[in-house]
Chains A and B, each alone.
Chain A
Protein backbone atom coordinates (compact mmCIF):
# COMPACT_ATOMS: atom_id res chain seq x y z
CA UNK A 1 0.00 0.00 0.00
CA UNK A 2 1.27 3.47 -0.79
CA UNK A 3 1.91 5.63 2.23
CA UNK A 4 1.78 9.39 2.42
CA UNK A 5 3.58 10.85 -0.58
CA UNK A 6 5.36 14.19 -0.46
CA UNK A 7 7.14 16.15 -3.15
CA UNK A 8 9.69 17.41 -3.65
CA UNK A 9 11.95 15.56 -1.18
CA UNK A 10 14.45 18.41 -1.26
CA UNK A 11 13.99 22.06 -2.19
CA UNK A 12 16.64 24.75 -2.30
CA UNK A 13 15.50 28.25 -3.09
CA UNK A 14 16.56 31.84 -2.68
CA UNK A 15 15.04 34.21 -0.20
CA UNK A 16 11.97 35.90 -1.60
CA UNK A 17 10.96 33.07 -3.87
CA UNK A 18 7.68 31.22 -3.64
CA UNK A 19 7.83 27.63 -2.43
CA UNK A 20 5.10 25.03 -2.86
CA UNK A 21 5.17 21.72 -1.04
CA UNK A 22 2.84 18.92 -2.06
CA UNK A 23 1.22 16.03 -0.26
CA UNK A 24 -0.90 13.06 -1.23
CA UNK A 25 -2.47 11.42 1.84
CA UNK A 26 -3.16 7.72 2.22
CA UNK A 27 -6.22 6.78 0.19
CA UNK A 28 -9.33 6.74 2.36
CA UNK A 29 -7.91 8.96 5.10
CA UNK A 30 -9.97 12.04 5.89
CA UNK A 31 -7.61 14.11 8.02
CA UNK A 32 -4.38 15.70 6.87
CA UNK A 33 -1.75 17.45 8.94
CA UNK A 34 1.21 19.69 8.03
CA UNK A 35 4.17 19.79 10.44
CA UNK A 36 7.48 21.61 10.50
CA UNK A 37 10.55 20.12 12.19
CA UNK A 38 13.65 22.00 13.28
CA UNK A 39 16.37 21.23 15.78
CA UNK A 40 15.38 24.20 17.93
CA UNK A 41 11.62 23.76 18.00
CA UNK A 42 11.11 20.06 17.31
CA UNK A 43 7.89 18.98 15.56
CA UNK A 44 5.37 21.80 15.24
CA UNK A 45 1.85 21.35 13.92
CA UNK A 46 1.14 24.06 11.36
CA UNK A 47 -2.37 23.29 10.15
CA UNK A 48 -4.75 20.39 9.80
CA UNK A 49 -7.73 19.54 7.64
CA UNK A 50 -10.68 17.24 8.10
CA UNK A 51 -12.72 16.27 5.03
CA UNK A 52 -10.75 18.89 3.05
CA UNK A 53 -11.78 21.69 5.42
CA UNK A 54 -9.13 23.55 7.45
CA UNK A 55 -9.88 22.96 11.12
CA UNK A 56 -7.08 24.75 12.92
CA UNK A 57 -4.40 26.92 11.36
CA UNK A 58 -3.20 28.49 14.60
CA UNK A 59 0.21 26.91 14.11
CA UNK A 60 0.89 28.69 10.84
CA UNK A 61 3.73 31.04 11.74
CA UNK A 62 2.89 33.99 9.50
CA UNK A 63 0.69 35.18 6.69
CA UNK A 64 3.45 34.13 4.33
CA UNK A 65 2.31 30.56 4.93
CA UNK A 66 -0.85 29.19 3.36
CA UNK A 67 -2.27 25.71 2.84
CA UNK A 68 -5.00 24.30 0.67
CA UNK A 69 -6.70 20.97 0.24
CA UNK A 70 -8.74 21.12 -2.97
CA UNK A 71 -9.70 17.45 -2.79
CA UNK A 72 -9.29 14.38 -0.63
CA UNK A 73 -6.12 13.25 -2.36
CA UNK A 74 -4.05 16.41 -2.55
CA UNK A 75 -2.82 19.25 -0.36
CA UNK A 76 -0.31 22.04 -0.76
CA UNK A 77 1.65 24.18 1.66
CA UNK A 78 2.87 27.43 0.16
CA UNK A 79 5.39 29.92 1.49
CA UNK A 80 5.47 33.30 -0.24
CA UNK A 81 7.88 35.00 0.07
CA UNK A 82 10.29 32.50 1.61
CA UNK A 83 12.91 33.52 4.19
CA UNK A 84 16.03 31.74 5.48
CA UNK A 85 14.34 31.06 8.83
CA UNK A 86 11.79 28.92 7.00
CA UNK A 87 14.51 26.33 6.39
CA UNK A 88 13.28 23.12 7.98
CA UNK A 89 11.86 19.70 7.20
CA UNK A 90 8.15 19.84 6.44
CA UNK A 91 6.08 16.72 7.04
CA UNK A 92 2.63 15.82 5.91
CA UNK A 93 0.66 13.18 7.84
CA UNK A 94 -2.76 11.64 7.37
CA UNK A 95 -5.26 9.77 9.49
CA UNK A 96 -8.75 8.32 9.35
CA UNK A 97 -10.99 9.97 11.92
CA UNK A 98 -14.46 8.55 12.56
CA UNK A 99 -16.41 10.21 15.35
CA UNK A 100 -14.77 9.56 18.69
CA UNK A 101 -12.76 6.59 17.40
CA UNK A 102 -9.04 7.20 17.61
CA UNK A 103 -6.84 6.39 14.66
CA UNK A 104 -3.11 6.56 14.23
CA UNK A 105 -1.38 9.26 12.22
CA UNK A 106 0.97 8.23 9.40
CA UNK A 107 3.75 10.49 8.21
CA UNK A 108 5.25 11.11 4.79
CA UNK A 109 9.01 11.16 4.20
CA UNK A 110 9.19 14.95 4.45
CA UNK A 111 10.45 17.81 2.30
CA UNK A 112 13.76 19.31 3.34
CA UNK A 113 13.57 23.04 2.53
CA UNK A 114 16.64 25.23 2.42
CA UNK A 115 16.20 28.95 1.83
CA UNK A 116 19.42 30.81 1.10
Chain B
Protein backbone atom coordinates (compact mmCIF):
# COMPACT_ATOMS: atom_id res chain seq x y z
CA UNK B 1 0.00 0.00 0.00
CA UNK B 2 0.91 3.67 -0.16
CA UNK B 3 3.28 4.95 2.51
CA UNK B 4 3.94 8.54 3.52
CA UNK B 5 7.13 9.51 5.30
CA UNK B 6 6.93 12.84 7.09
CA UNK B 7 9.95 14.61 8.54
CA UNK B 8 11.10 15.81 10.89
CA UNK B 9 9.17 14.00 13.62
CA UNK B 10 9.55 16.98 15.94
CA UNK B 11 10.96 20.50 15.93
CA UNK B 12 11.86 22.90 18.71
CA UNK B 13 12.30 26.47 17.50
CA UNK B 14 12.42 30.03 18.75
CA UNK B 15 9.61 32.43 18.04
CA UNK B 16 10.31 34.29 14.82
CA UNK B 17 12.18 31.47 13.13
CA UNK B 18 11.06 29.87 9.89
CA UNK B 19 9.99 26.22 9.82
CA UNK B 20 10.11 23.64 7.05
CA UNK B 21 8.69 20.12 7.01
CA UNK B 22 8.13 17.67 4.19
CA UNK B 23 6.49 14.46 3.12
CA UNK B 24 7.62 11.87 0.62
CA UNK B 25 5.69 8.99 -0.83
CA UNK B 26 6.53 5.68 -2.44
CA UNK B 27 3.87 6.35 -5.05
CA UNK B 28 2.16 9.30 -6.69
CA UNK B 29 -0.77 11.31 -5.43
CA UNK B 30 -3.24 13.61 -7.20
CA UNK B 31 -3.71 15.84 -4.18
CA UNK B 32 -1.63 16.85 -1.19
CA UNK B 33 -3.22 18.30 1.93
CA UNK B 34 -1.66 19.80 5.03
CA UNK B 35 -3.48 19.72 8.38
CA UNK B 36 -2.74 21.14 11.82
CA UNK B 37 -3.95 19.54 15.03
CA UNK B 38 -4.14 21.49 18.28
CA UNK B 39 -4.19 19.57 21.58
CA UNK B 40 -7.60 18.06 22.25
CA UNK B 41 -8.95 18.95 18.83
CA UNK B 42 -9.35 17.36 15.42
CA UNK B 43 -7.04 18.11 12.49
CA UNK B 44 -7.85 21.35 10.69
CA UNK B 45 -7.14 21.78 7.00
CA UNK B 46 -4.46 24.41 6.28
CA UNK B 47 -3.66 24.09 2.59
CA UNK B 48 -4.74 21.88 -0.31
CA UNK B 49 -2.60 21.34 -3.43
CA UNK B 50 -4.08 19.93 -6.63
CA UNK B 51 -1.42 20.18 -9.36
CA UNK B 52 2.15 18.96 -9.61
CA UNK B 53 4.48 21.91 -9.15
CA UNK B 54 1.79 24.05 -7.53
CA UNK B 55 2.96 26.52 -4.90
CA UNK B 56 0.24 27.85 -2.60
CA UNK B 57 0.33 30.32 0.26
CA UNK B 58 -2.05 30.92 3.14
CA UNK B 59 -0.77 33.80 5.27
CA UNK B 60 2.56 32.76 6.74
CA UNK B 61 2.16 29.24 5.34
CA UNK B 62 3.52 28.13 1.99
CA UNK B 63 3.19 24.64 0.58
CA UNK B 64 4.32 23.03 -2.65
CA UNK B 65 3.22 19.95 -4.57
CA UNK B 66 6.34 18.24 -5.83
CA UNK B 67 6.82 17.95 -9.58
CA UNK B 68 7.16 14.16 -9.32
CA UNK B 69 3.82 14.04 -7.43
CA UNK B 70 5.58 12.00 -4.74
CA UNK B 71 6.43 14.77 -2.30
CA UNK B 72 5.27 18.00 -0.72
CA UNK B 73 6.66 20.53 1.71
CA UNK B 74 5.17 23.04 4.12
CA UNK B 75 6.96 26.19 5.25
CA UNK B 76 5.92 28.46 8.11
CA UNK B 77 7.55 31.86 8.19
CA UNK B 78 8.14 33.99 11.28
CA UNK B 79 6.73 31.41 13.71
CA UNK B 80 4.60 32.51 16.65
CA UNK B 81 3.61 30.62 19.82
CA UNK B 82 0.16 29.70 18.46
CA UNK B 83 1.84 27.71 15.66
CA UNK B 84 2.46 24.99 18.25
CA UNK B 85 0.76 21.73 17.35
CA UNK B 86 1.05 18.63 15.21
CA UNK B 87 1.23 19.09 11.45
CA UNK B 88 0.11 16.28 9.17
CA UNK B 89 0.53 15.82 5.46
CA UNK B 90 -2.03 13.72 3.60
CA UNK B 91 -2.16 12.42 0.07
CA UNK B 92 -5.13 11.48 -2.04
CA UNK B 93 -5.12 9.36 -5.16
CA UNK B 94 -7.93 9.35 -7.66
CA UNK B 95 -7.60 6.58 -10.20
CA UNK B 96 -9.91 4.48 -12.30
CA UNK B 97 -13.05 6.22 -11.09
CA UNK B 98 -13.04 7.74 -7.65
CA UNK B 99 -11.09 7.28 -4.46
CA UNK B 100 -14.17 8.38 -2.49
CA UNK B 101 -11.85 10.92 -0.90
CA UNK B 102 -9.69 8.42 0.97
CA UNK B 103 -6.55 10.03 2.43
CA UNK B 104 -3.21 8.55 3.40
CA UNK B 105 -1.66 10.45 6.34
CA UNK B 106 1.94 11.04 7.34
CA UNK B 107 3.07 10.37 10.89
CA UNK B 108 2.98 14.05 11.85
CA UNK B 109 5.52 16.71 12.85
CA UNK B 110 5.28 18.00 16.42
CA UNK B 111 6.15 21.70 16.48
CA UNK B 112 7.17 23.50 19.67
CA UNK B 113 7.76 27.25 19.58
CA UNK B 114 9.65 28.88 22.44
CA UNK B 115 8.68 32.51 23.09
Which A residues lie at the B interface, using CB under 8 A?
4, 31, 33, 42-43, 45, 48, 50, 55-56, 91, 93, 95, 97, 99-100, 102-110
Contact = CB atoms under 8 A, between A and B. Distances in A.
B100 A100 contact: no
Contact of B100 (A50, A106, A107): A50
Interface of B: 30-31, 33, 35, 40-45, 48, 50, 88, 90, 92, 94, 97-98, 100-103, 105, 107-108
Contacts, number: 61
A55 B108 CA distance: 26
B98 A45 contact: no
Contact of B101 (A103, A108, A110): A103
Nearest to A31: B101
A47 B81 CA distance: 35
Contacts of A48: 100-102
Nearest to A44: B105
